[in-house]
Structure 1
């Protein structure tokens, strides 16, 4: 797989101690297809979050050829098959470049020592992204010692606990894996996290039923809220089953992998959104401030949605397999009026 070209940050972004201007961060996000609303969410989250950790599974099983990455020019993208680790590489390099663009340092740690390159990279600059790319190029090998790394990351977050609480911030831990730990009891290793200000995301790279069940049930065992994410196609299919009017695009998935936690996004695969929730999600994605209530001013609501998404780059819709507007206005009309079943 050809890696995406590295992001060349504007002057000031990526230099030690420099905080990028919001306009520069928005330029990066716009170049990656983020609409104004989601760009604002990402920028706001970078200000609200503290330490950010990504634990990257580079075990031997990640060489399995059932991964997928998005390739092609904007508007003509397609999901193509690749190894699981190639999918992970595409993901973590995006988040590394995002960390640089947002001025939000992220610690990227591999489960196993790469054959070349560092095992841990604290990404602040474009040079750090290059170091991470070198580590990724080593490919996958070894076991899945998740427990030891979770304990170490937990200790690092604990050292920052007082500062995090004093500033009203939280840490983020994203675990990217396709399997079960091979080095002990993960519930025991994660239990200390339940007492810390940390949001945990698990990004699965497998459809294996045992693995999915294990991670999905972990929050009940350790009393820790965990956001378990499938791959892009899987999450999009679950969203479409309840809210087909929304394009669950790669940008939404990246936002959740990064550690943005919004209740509206949790609901997408659970039930059809209520009219007011659909309104709020449209405003969240498209930006531009509050929208009219669809039950009080349906004409104003739909006119505003149409106007706000006019001119936006069409995102990739994994369910349709092609570019499609963020909001399918015909399906949205049916959903907010309770007639979704009549729309084919």
Structure 2
């Protein structure tokens, strides 16, 4: 192979004709549609199997440690968010249920929305609740950049879920309460970043980050576990993602579908989708400032697409020597 350029130079800046780029965009959207439809149909097919599994898990001799063993053998993209202190609480987890709750029995609805139900037994040492429910909605939004171009955002959004911690047992160090306080204040009206709860959450985030840094310097017994930006696993219940409403999402989805149909018919559409990263950064997004669990969408997807469907596999594995977190599952 002879060339005056090295490999990196030849592949870093591909030159794609506009009509080819349009074809690529259309095909990518068709792939997404096919994948979503495949997921939608699989949900209906797997529901009876998950019901059979639930009956097996409900057996007294299995239920006592089923989800403890599953979590102890969780893959790295889940295990990294569970600190030893989190594990002590998750040790009282009696059951975990994951539902694609927006899909009906006919296979109709949004399959990417997810509901997690965590059920704890009476031995939970940290909070009063025996059940915690966290719902994620898949939403879409069309944003306008400062230069007037449009950008489509889609992803999981959620409302924070408050946990009533027992005295001195709040593993989130006040972050979850602060996130819930801001959300409650927003529902009463007002501009988010002008609310006193907004500033309190920003300050609390900085305080907890500094405290976590100090603890990491002082304690290196578990250098690879739970050392993420999100801190405690239970900050997961504070994840928000964005505040796109169902109506905004429906409008954006309709607009995107209409655009795709025109492209499939060969009709001309406005090429106003922005790929300018600098333009994207100028879009005001308070959630970059106040998100208490930035990796919330990643963890939700990992739990729903890996841990939940493969729970029997993880249950049957021997607990890892380096990942059991002292859950007492073995």
Using structure 1 for the length normalisation, give the TM-score: 0.26
Which one has more relative contact order, counting CA pairs under 8 Å at least 6 apart?
Answer: 2
Using structure 2 for the length normalisation, give the TM-score: 0.26
